[in-house]
Structure 1
């Protein structure tokens, strides 16, 4: 069902090479085809509404775990005219339970607890090295931390509504040309490309948001 795609580093090229930075106070400038690419057939997650910033991620991606604090910084820095969303990528069978868990949490947790639980699960898996890979393991974790009924969590995670959502997501991710995580997509028009570090990734997002705010100029 899910197309197998290269993992992890395709979207985020971490470099040890020195790079010139703009003078302090100067606006960063990035180039189409380098730090970001224009999407051939633009498509937003939500057809209407605010400018969108979408993080394509996975709980199974250690780079996403490392990026999580920077994602929180980015969300706080984005203007109110911008909507932030996440899409969990199910690039292969091993990553499918992580996508299922995210959408089960989205449906069963209070809205104001979703981001908090995402951050905590990343830390539990990658910092505390808890065995959180199978959907049942993550269901128990959500039960212990948020009081969600474990059986209900598994039922929702493996149910038809979440299955349809993941299938829809997978088509959109492929249309955007995303083949690794974390990848940031702005307004369905641009995706991050050759990024040196997470600070630059956030700067690219802000650059593209500003570009869209000015009508794509």
Structure 2
């Protein structure tokens, strides 16, 4: 499933240095079927409301860890009237604990910054953060969240139901790898050369929605 995505990101370092970017002040132009893809049956995460940007990610994805500083910047650059969300992908058994941990932490009041800090701990500090128990201990150490409550929440019916719903939505969007950005349930990022371009494509699609496509 991830072979194509892995090959794509192997070339990031090589392409970033020599990629031509639009002239200063020029609006970037992207193509449906190339940098992004239209979703056959549009479906939003939150139903009606603001234009939404959704990052499909996983703590188990090193590319998501590398994208984290860029997606944090993207959130600050999105205009008013746009909502940002994250959806953790549980593509396999190894990634399920990461999705469970994300929702448990959110339910138990961990701050938004904890997402980036866990990425840093796992991928930059090389801490053993793979099993749910390991992440429970980490959240207790850094945010004082009771480990037993964390484990119970992570394995509880509400989180299970949410992950099942997420999985159906991710499949409906046609997401095959992470990180993928979905705009308004209508478009998903596709063949992206680097993370700057991923942000540019997202802002291009957001602008398009704000100018009349959003319903």
TM-score for the superposition, normalised by structure 1: 0.93
Shift in Å, 1:6: 3.0
**CA 1:8 to 1:101, structure 2 compared with 1: closer, same or farther past 3 Å?**
farther
Gaps spanning 5+ residues in structure 1: where?
A: none
CA contact under 8 A between 1:185 and 1:191: conserved in structure 2? yes
- Shift of the 50–27 alpha-carbon distance from structure 1 to 2, 3 Å rule, reads same
2:119 paired residue among 116, 119, 122: 122
Deviation string, structure 1 residues 125-180 (Cα, Å, up to 9, x no partner): 00010000000100000000000000100000000100000000000000000010
Q: Check if 1:156 corresponds to 2:157.
A: no
Partner of 1:188: 185
Alignment equivalent of 1:208, drawn from 205, 209, 215: 205
- What is the SS of the residue equivalent to 2:90? coil
Which has the larger helix fraction?
2
1:27 aligns with 2:27: yes
Distance 1:97-1:105 versus aligned 2 partners, 3 A rule: same
TM-score in terms of structure 2 length: 0.93
Inter-CA distance 8–135: structure 2 relative to 1 (3 Å threshold): farther
Alignment partners' CA distance in 1, 2:4 and 2:123: 15
- Aligned residues between the structures: 210
Alignment of 1:95-106 (within 5 A): 95-106=95-106
Take 1:83 and 1:119, find their aligned partners in 2: how far apart are those partners? 19
* Structure 2 unpaired stretches of 5+: none
User: CA distance change for structure 1 residues 107 and 191 in 2, over 3 Å: closer, same or farther?
Assistant: same
Cα distance between partner residues in 2 of 1:54 and 1:126: 22
